[in-house]
Amino acid sequence: MSGRVVNREDFIPDEVWVTGDDGFFLVPLRRSEDPEGWLALVRSDQAITTQVDDGRDKYDGKGIIPTSSCSARWVVDRMLDLLGVRPGMRVLEIGTGTGYNAALLAVQAGSGQVTSMEVDPMIAGQARAALDRTGHPVRVIAGDGTAGYPAGAPYDRVIATASVSVVPCSWVEQTRPGGRIVFPFAGTFDGALAVLVVDDDGVARGRFHDEAGFMRLRNQRRDPHVWWLGEDDADVRPTRRYLREPFDDAATGFAVGLWLPGCTTGDIDEGGPANTLLLSHSPSQSWASLTAGLDEHEITQYGPRRLWDELETAYDWWMNSGRPSRDRFGLTVTPDGQTFWLDNPDHAILLR
Residue 105 pLDDT greater than 50, yes or no: yes
Cα(169)–Cα(158) distance, integer angstroms: 12
Active site residue 321: no
Looking at residue 271, what is its pLDDT? 63
Residues 174 and 298 in one domain: no
Residue-wise pLDDT tens digits, 301-313: 999 999 999 999 9
211 and 301 assigned to the same domain:
no
Q: What is the pLDDT of residue 165?
A: 95
Q: Are residues 79 and 52 in the same domain?
A: no
pLDDT grade for 3, boundaries at 50, 70 and 90 = very low
pLDDT digits (tens, 9 = 90+) for 273-290: 568 999 999 999 999 999
Domain boundary, last residue among 70, 91, 112: 70
Answer with the one of 11, 44, 70 that is the final residue of a domain.
70
Domain count, the chain: 3
Q: Does residue 79 sit in the same domain as residue 201?
A: yes
C-alpha 235, offset from chain centre: 33
Closest CA to 236 of 308, 315, 293, 316: 308
Average pLDDT, whole number, for the chain?
A: 94
Q: Which pLDDT score is estimated for 171?
A: 98
Mean pLDDT, rounded, for 116-137: 97
Per-residue pLDDT averaged across 56-65, rounded?
Answer: 91
- For residues 113 and 163, membership in a common domain is answered with yes
The pLDDT of residue 221 is 86
Burial bucket for residue 118 (CB in 10 Å: 0-12, 13-18, 19+)? buried
Looking at the fold, whether 66 and 80 belong to one and the same domain comes out as no
Instruction: Return the percentage of the chain with pLDDT > 90, whole number.
Output: 87
The reply to whether 14 and 50 lie within a common domain is yes
Is residue 300 scored above 80 in pLDDT? yes
Distance (Å, rounded) from C-alpha 99 to C-alpha 105?
10
- pLDDT average, residue stretch 218-245: 90
* pLDDT score, position 274: 62
Tally the residues of the chain: 352
Per-residue pLDDT tens digits for 174-204 = 999 999 999 999 999 999 999 999 999 999 9
For residue 109, what is the domain's CATH number? 3.40.50.150
Torsion on CA atoms 103, 44, 188, 227, rounded to nearest 10: -120
pLDDT of residue 2: 44
pLDDT of residue 223: 82
> Does residue 272 surpass a pLDDT of 70?
no
Is the confidence at residue 42, as pLDDT, over 50?
yes
Calculated CA dihedral for residues 333, 339, 345, 347, nearest 10 degrees: 180
pLDDT tens per residue, range 78-102:
999 999 999 999 999 999 999 999 9
**Containing domain of residue 82, as a range?**
73-215
Side chain identity at 344, as an amino acid letter?
N
CB 277 within 8 A of CB 283: no
Domain-ending residue, one of 215, 237, 272: 215
Residues 18, 63, single domain; the answer is yes
244 & 304 share domain:
yes
Residues 53 and 77 in one domain: no
Shared domain check, 174 and 54: no
List the catalytic residue out of 2, 32, 68, 71.
71
User: Is the domain of 94 the same as that of 189?
Assistant: yes
